[in-house]
C-alpha cells in the first residue's frame, strides 16, 4: 500500500449530496434519526401489540432496512465550565458552596459510571435497478469499469433515484410512527457530522449541555 494513499479510498461512502449518502457501488442511502420507546416498562399487552405491529411493519416492506444504535461517552467538560462560571457570578456564599459540591458530585458520578449516550438510526437503502437485477458480479464489473467513484451503469438520473428513495423513506417513517417512534431524516450537514464522528470517535465526543444533563 502506498504511504501517501488517502484514507477515503477505504470508505464505502463516495459523496453526500442533497441529504442523501452516495456509495461507491452506486447505492443511495437516507439516514433517519429515531426516538426510542421503553419496551421494558410497557405492560404485557402493550409489548405484544408492539411486537405484532413491528412484524406487520417489516412484512409490508419489499426492501431491507438497517437499524443502528450508536453509543458514545458523554463529554461533560463544557457543562462543568458553565457551572464554574455560574459559581463565580453568584453573590450568595451558600449558593457558591452548593454549586461547588454539585460540581464535585457530577465529576465523581461520571467518572464512576462512565455515562454513555445512545442514538438510534434507521438506514433506508435504494440500489439502482441494474444492480438489483444483475447482482454482485455486475456490481463488481461496474466498480472495475468505473473505478468506484460512485458512478453507476444503472439507468435513471440521480433525481429519479432520489425520488424513489424518498418514497421508501416516507413508507418507513409512517411505519415507525405507528409503532410510536418519531423519526426525521438527517440533512447533508448532519450526515457529514455523523460520519466524521463515526470515523474519529476520540476527537468527536458528544458535548453535553446543561439542559441534556438535568433533563435525563
Q: Are residues 146 and 180 part of one domain?
A: yes
User: Using N-to-C axis directions, what is the helix angle for 77-89 and 93-113, rounded to 10°?
Assistant: 170
**Per-residue pLDDT at 214:** 37
Residue 135: in which H helix or E strand, if any? helix 129-146
Same domain? 85 vs 174? no
More confident residue, 125 or 155: 125
Asked if the model's pLDDT at residue 204 lies above 60, the reply is no
Query: Is residue 1 domain-resident?
Result: no
User: Which residues are CB-neighbours of 123 under 8 A, at least 6 positions away?
Assistant: 29, 30, 31, 32, 65, 66, 67, 68
pLDDT at residue 208 greater than cutoff 60:
no
Together in a domain, 67 and 171: yes
Kindly report, residue by residue over 69-111, the tens digit of the pLDDT: 988 777 778 888 899 998 998 888 899 899 999 989 988 887 7
196 lies in a domain?
yes
| In a domain? residue 88 | yes
Q: Are residues 45 and 110 in the same domain?
A: no
Q: Domain count for the chain, please give it.
A: 2
How would residue 121 be classed by pLDDT, with cut points 50, 70 and 90?
A: very high
pLDDT of 173 reads 96
**Residues 11 and 35 reside in one and the same domain:** yes
Mean pLDDT to the nearest integer, 131-149: 43
Query: Phi-psi bin for 86: left (phi > 0), alpha (psi -120 to 50), beta?
Result: alpha
Please check whether residue 2 lies inside any domain of the structure: no
Q: Is the pLDDT of residue 162 over 60?
A: yes
Residue 42 sits in the same domain as residue 81? no
In a domain, 176, yes or no: yes
Per-residue confidence (pLDDT) for residue 130, from 0 to 100: 52
Helix (H) or strand (E) holding 198: helix 188-199
Count CB neighbours of 3 within 10 A: 4
156 and 199 co-located in one domain: yes
Domain containing 84 equals 77-114
Look-up: residue for cell 461507491?
24
Q: Are residues 101 and 146 in the same domain?
A: no
> Percentage of the chain with pLDDT > 90?
43
Amino acid at each position: 500500500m502506498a504511504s501517501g494513499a488517502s484514507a477515503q479510498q477505504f470508505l464505502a461512502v463516495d459523496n453526500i449530496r442533497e441529504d442523501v449518502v452516495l456509495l461507491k457501488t452506486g447505492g443511495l442511502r437516507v439516514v433517519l434519526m429515531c426516538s426510542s420507546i421503553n419496551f421494558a416498562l410497557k405492560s404485557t399487552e402493550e409489548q405484544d401489540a408492539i411486537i405484532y405491529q413491528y412484524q406487520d411493519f417489516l412484512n409490508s416492506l419489499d426492501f431491507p432496512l438497517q437499524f443502528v444504535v450508536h453509543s458514545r461517552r458523554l463529554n461533560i467538560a463544557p457543562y462543568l465550565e458553565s457551572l464554574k462560571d455560574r459559581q463565580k457570578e453568584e453573590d450568595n456564599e451558600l449558593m457558591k458552596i452548593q454549586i461547588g459540591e454539585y460540581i464535585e458530585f457530577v465529576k465523581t458520578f461520571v467518572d464512576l459510571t462512565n455515562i454513555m449516550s445512545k442514538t438510534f438510526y434507521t438506514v433506508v437503502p435504494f440500489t439502482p435497478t441494474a444492480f438489483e437485477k444483475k447482482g454482485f458480479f455486475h456490481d463488481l464489473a461496474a466498480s472495475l469499469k468505473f473505478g468506484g467513484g460512485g458512478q453507476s451503469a444503472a439507468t435513471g438520473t440521480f433525481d429519479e433515484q432520489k425520488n424513489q428513495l424518498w418514497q421508501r423513506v416516507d413508507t418507513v417513517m409512517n411505519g415507525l410512527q405507528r409503532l410510536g417512534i418519531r423519526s426525521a431524516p438527517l440533512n447533508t450537514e448532519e450526515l457529514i457530522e455523523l460520519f466524521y464522528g463515526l470515523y474519529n470517535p476520540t476527537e468527536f465526543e458528544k458535548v453535553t449541555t446543561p439542559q441534556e444533563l438535568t433533563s435525563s
